[in-house]
Amino acid sequence: MPPDSVQDKPKIIGECCCCNRGVEEQYELRGLDDGLYCEDCYNEVFTQCEDCGEVIEYEYANNDDNGYTYCNYCWDSRHEDVDLNSFDNSLSVYNPPEDTTFEHNKFERFVGVEIETLGPSDYYPGDKPDSFYTSSDGSVGTSDEDYGGYEFISQPMCGDTLFSEIDKMGAWLRSQAFRINKTCGLHIHIDARDLYYKELKGIMLVTKAFESTIFSMLPSRRYDSNWCKSINMSVNAIKALQSDSDFIHSYYDHCDEHPSLDKYNDARYQGLNLHARVYLGTIEFRYHSGTNNPTKIKNWITICQSIVEKGIALSREFDNKSEDWDADTHLLMNANGDLGLQAFVEILELDAIKDYIIRRVRKFDRPSTEESRQYMDNEINFRYI
């Protein structure tokens, strides 16, 4: 009989295939490939499906916002009921004064603004406008150890109240020495709880007809960004949508994603983010580069709201015969490529900010078409401001 010290010594049955540490018999764990793992490595490589308990590799697991993991079958099954009424309808909006006007911002839809920016770690939040709240943002980065990434998110607002609060927020950011870099973006959410496949279809067609013009107003890095991708549905695929379920299937299929209510579904990383309509009840525009400048923010909101309103108007023409369409509807319904800067200004009724738009395109020197360049050159009233 061996001494107790020898008899009680743990039996090593092999080495972990990841870290090469010895694995005791009582802690033997086998992976899907029948490889031997120590407990630490096994838990790093594998997890279990929250629904069915199947062991899956983390690399291939589907994760929801709460950190739960699912196999592909259960992930697909749990999202079968996602539709355009699945969003949480408890939207809290900023109550504007009773005498709110619509002189500078003529649109009545509520709008939420997300400003990604860099700020000093010791900034003083005391006099920040109450209409915005602060969130940290890990996607915004800098090598300056005294600065960090932040996101300032507004409550949904409308009319001139929206523009007034943006002016206040811009002044406050300036007073606190906030700044932007290429990791920052500006995101605009427009209330779309009452908009369904026809309106979304119209908004997609309008955006598609002017997407190159939109990118021509922005730094070139936005065009290649993974955070604001171009619409990847063709005009014909958009026009073929005939129901809410058609929209759900086609939008996510073209994004190579499954429909879900998870905020961070990769289908959100489109310049025109319609995943937001599914989980949040909004349409999000993600094209714009980062800015703390209230004038730029307000002008971009005007452009986004104009696209939405024109898309809604276009949707009312879908059931009419083509011979009854006006000239703008014919252009938008039959666009083969970008319609150019002049059509962008005229169809979206952006004459009030025309000079600003032209200045942006001139700055980046990337007009979407030759007609756009000629339009800029022929604008005798243009002032380089």
Domains of the chain and any CATH numbers:
4-78 (2.10.110), 80-385 (no CATH)
pTM: 0.80
- What is the per-residue pLDDT for 31? 85
Pairwise CA distance, residues 46 & 30, whole Å: 10
Residue type, 103: E
- Measured over all CA atoms, what is the biggest interatomic distance in the chain, rounded to whole angstroms? 105
Are 239 and 200 within 8 A, CB to CB? no
- What is the per-residue pLDDT for 137? 75
- Measured on CA atoms in the order 64, 66, 69, 71, is the torsion positive or negative? negative
Are 361 and 341 within 8 A, CB to CB? yes
Residues 115-139 as b/e (b if ≥16 CB within 10 A, e otherwise) read bbbbbeeebeeeebbebbeeeebee
- What is the per-residue pLDDT for 384? 43
The total number of residues shown for the chain amounts to: 385
Pairwise CA distance, residues 73 & 50, whole Å: 12
**∠361-233-266 over CA atoms, to 5°?**
90
For 49-93, the pLDDT digits (tens) are 987 888 998 888 888 766 788 888 777 666 557 899 998 877 676
Helix (H, G, I), strand (E, B) or coil at 378: helix
Query: Which residues have C-beta within 8 Å of that of residue 367, sequence separation ≥ 6?
Result: 216, 341, 361, 373, 376
Name residues of the chain where pLDDT drops below 50. Answer: 1, 382-385
Residue in 83, 32, 22 with CA at minimum distance from that of residue 261 = 83
